[in-house]
Structure 1
Amino acid sequence: MATLITGGAGFVGLEVVRLLLDRGESRPAVFSRNPSPQRLGNLADRVEAIAGDLGNFSHVLHAVKTTRPERIYHLGAMLSVPSDADPAAAIQTNAMGTFHVLEAARLFDVKQVIFSSSVGTYGYDIHEDVISDTTLQRPQFFYGATKAFGEYMGLFYKRKYGLDFRGIRYPSVIGPGVSTPGAVQYTSWVIEECARGNPFTIWVTPETRMPVMYIDEAAQATVQLADAPQARIETVNYLVDGLKPTPSAGELAAAVRAQIPGAQIDFVPDPQIQPLVDEIVRPLDDSRAREEWGWEPSYDLERMVSAFLARL
């Protein structure tokens, strides 16, 4: 199957590419601002690298026209902190970029688009104790607003043009090599910085419980959703969660200290970020992903920290 991965040199994108190659796909196309050999590492010779900007329709059209994919994993995006800092750029990359991918898919008869969304599409006025696929989406962050818009654009293209559009709402994804700031990136940075021997300050309270998922699981869930029989897809945009029960920031810190003796971790809640996080910190109900296409996480907290450290 011909496959195109936008953001394929990014955090989740690289793991999706690696997973596709491991299962035998031949030279998937990686579309990214900087798909350099340094970024792609040992995958560089096994993919078709295409440099381009999602916000430029000509770039997206060229990538889709030349690769003629049957499936697009649309994983490229600006994250929460950069999007809030530069909403004009986020509109181009996240909102217009998604429109460009969907329209190119329509023009060149791409069968399927898999869209990376986020729990950041939730925010204000959550009255339930648990966030589910049907919880009201009123995002606080500009990033979440662009992701919610992307989901609804995808639903439109599914209804009007018959595109097999599917979305996956990740929680906080933990893994090595996270470089882009995010409101909850402490979940990855606390492990990596402590492994380097550096002290680390977590900017939320120890009691904060942010749903998390290990990077390998995020890639696996993405590909598993794409592979699911179309007849099983009813909800279309799905929450997925990692280990349960959701660990607190304090429990994450304890797990890091258990595997990195002497790790120096303290807590200084950010007065701007903590109230926003508190609005959305609830357990996730991903039962529809489990029931409709068989999602099942496999990492506990100890295994997740251990796997992270093994890859550094």
Structure 2
Amino acid sequence: MRTIVVTGALGQIGTELVPYLRERYGAEQVIATDVKAAPDAEEAGPYAALDVMDGEAFYEVVQKHRADTIIHLAALLSATAEAKPLFAWQLNMGGLLNALETARQLGCSVFTPSSIAAFGAGVPKLGTPQDAPQRPSTLYGISKVSGELLCDYYYLKYGVDTRGLRLPGLISYAAAPGGGTTDYAVDMYRQAVSSGSYTSYIAEGTYMDMMYMPDALESIVRLMEADPAKLAHRNAYNVSAMSIEPGMIGAAIRKQLPDFRLDYCVDPVRQAIAESWPDALDVSAAEEEWGFRPQYDLGAMTADMLRELRLRLPQVPPVKAG
């Protein structure tokens, strides 16, 4: 990667990926884009307002900056997609098609994230294989499976260098929850610092794969820099760092904040989405083909999350003695 255009740069992943890439490749070599004007973002480096559903505008941005890589993050997340299914399909698939067409015409490589939501009923919940059948029951999941297949098509038919990860829930201190089912974990850490308690919309004992954002960022770069000859599953690698449920996160938080209280008020829509996903993915293909190695477990992630959030959020006032 030399010059990189990032779509959805103001979203959950993009907020941290853009500065990560700029530190690695140079600020002027990473062009951040999102659907709205963002003066603050423009001050940090090259920025362009871009509606990814506008194919002509997409092409013009990539051509203007002579980019060789497109990291396409713009998409509607799981719970929000269920509330707006038609718009989610138009954005998630229309935007990806424009990214791929631009890449085909200009000779770019493309990264786009898939998700654990690409799986559905009928697969093993534990150790879900890399090549397990995919029958998701959500519009978000359907769009992710379709995206994987579309990227495969552009690779096989046109030779576009497409690559992707099936990302688990991503936990980050930099971005607020953004409409994903796994975002309860992010919100729990934030509420632990700001209020001392959290009410989870996901039921106790509901396991889902998670990863701390620094591991996700490193995984994206490592995959994009990998030898293409070794990539047998180039558009859909299972990746995860931990399989956890709300109570485990609460217990990890209480090791540092003993008075933290965790309650439950289950949202049936998001709970149903969570139950349709695997509990734990088999990540051996990513390990073998390009060296996937997450660094953070639950304890290390919790310590870092709380330390960073204490610097960013108002905190629970200390209890006065007596």
For normalisation by structure 2, the TM-score amounts to 0.90
Matches within 5 A, 1:160-309: 160-176=157-173, 177-236=175-234, 237-243=236-242, 246-309=243-306
Tell me, in whole angstroms, the C-alpha distance in 1 between the residues paired with 2:140 and 2:268: 20
Tell me, in whole angstroms, the C-alpha distance in 1 between the residues paired with 2:114 and 2:300: 25
8 A contact 1:16–1:222 mirrored in 2: no
Tell me, in whole angstroms, the C-alpha distance in 1 between the residues paired with 2:153 and 2:281: 26
Tell me, in whole angstroms, the C-alpha distance in 2 between the residues paired with 1:18 and 1:216: 12
Q: 1:91 to 1:279 in 2, by over 3 A?
A: closer
Deviation of 1:204 after TM superposition, in Å, equals 2.2
Moved over 4 A (4+): none
Deviation of 1:239 after TM superposition, in Å, equals 0.9
For residue 26 of structure 2, what is the amino acid of its counterpart?
Answer: E
8 A contact 1:211–1:242 mirrored in 2: yes
Does residue 6 of structure 1 match 2:7? yes
CA deviation vs aligned residue, 1:160-200 (integer Å, no higher than 9, x gap): 11111111110000112223222221111000111112531
Does residue 33 of structure 1 match 2:32? no
Tell me, in whole angstroms, the C-alpha distance in 1 between the residues paired with 2:215 and 2:269: 30
Tell me, in whole angstroms, the C-alpha distance in 1 between the residues paired with 2:33 and 2:129: 32
Q: 1:24 to 1:293 in 2, by over 3 A?
A: same
Deviation of 1:128 after TM superposition, in Å, equals 5.9
Tell me, in whole angstroms, the C-alpha distance in 1 between the residues paired with 2:138 and 2:214: 26
8 A contact 2:126–2:278 mirrored in 1: no
2:312 corresponding residue in structure 1: none
Could you say what secondary structure the match of 2:71 adopts?
Answer: strand
2:119 corresponding residue in structure 1: 122
Structure 1 residue runs of 5 or longer lacking an equivalent are none
Tell me, in whole angstroms, the C-alpha distance in 1 between the residues paired with 2:196 and 2:84: 30
8 A contact 1:9–1:34 mirrored in 2: no
Q: 1:129 to 1:194 in 2, by over 3 A?
A: closer
Paired residues in the alignment total 305
1:132 corresponding residue in structure 2: 129
Deviation of 1:247 after TM superposition, in Å, equals 2.4
The percent identity for this pair of structures is: 30
Tell me, in whole angstroms, the C-alpha distance in 2 between the residues paired with 1:217 and 1:121: 21
Tell me, in whole angstroms, the C-alpha distance in 1 between the residues paired with 2:64 and 2:205: 50
Deviation of 1:129 after TM superposition, in Å, equals 3.7
Tell me, in whole angstroms, the C-alpha distance in 1 between the residues paired with 2:57 and 2:14: 18
For residue 132 of structure 2, what is the amino acid of its counterpart?
Answer: T
2:80 corresponding residue in structure 1: 82
Tell me, in whole angstroms, the C-alpha distance in 1 between the residues paired with 2:272 and 2:68: 43
Q: 1:261 to 1:37 in 2, by over 3 A?
A: farther
Tell me, in whole angstroms, the C-alpha distance in 1 between the residues paired with 2:274 and 2:84: 20
Could you say what secondary structure the match of 2:255 adopts?
Answer: helix
Tell me, in whole angstroms, the C-alpha distance in 2 between the residues paired with 1:183 and 1:89: 18
Could you say what secondary structure the match of 2:145 adopts?
Answer: helix
Deviation of 1:46 after TM superposition, in Å, equals 4.0
Deviation of 1:205 after TM superposition, in Å, equals 2.4
Deviation of 1:282 after TM superposition, in Å, equals 2.0
Could you say what secondary structure the match of 1:130 adopts?
Answer: strand
For residue 306 of structure 1, what is the amino acid of its counterpart?
Answer: A
For normalisation by structure 1, the TM-score amounts to 0.92
CA deviation vs aligned residue, 1:48-70 (integer Å, no higher than 9, x gap): 10101111212212211212211
Deviation of 1:230 after TM superposition, in Å, equals 0.9
RMSD: 1.6
For residue 82 of structure 1, what is the amino acid of its counterpart?
Answer: T
Tell me, in whole angstroms, the C-alpha distance in 2 between the residues paired with 1:189 and 1:29: 29
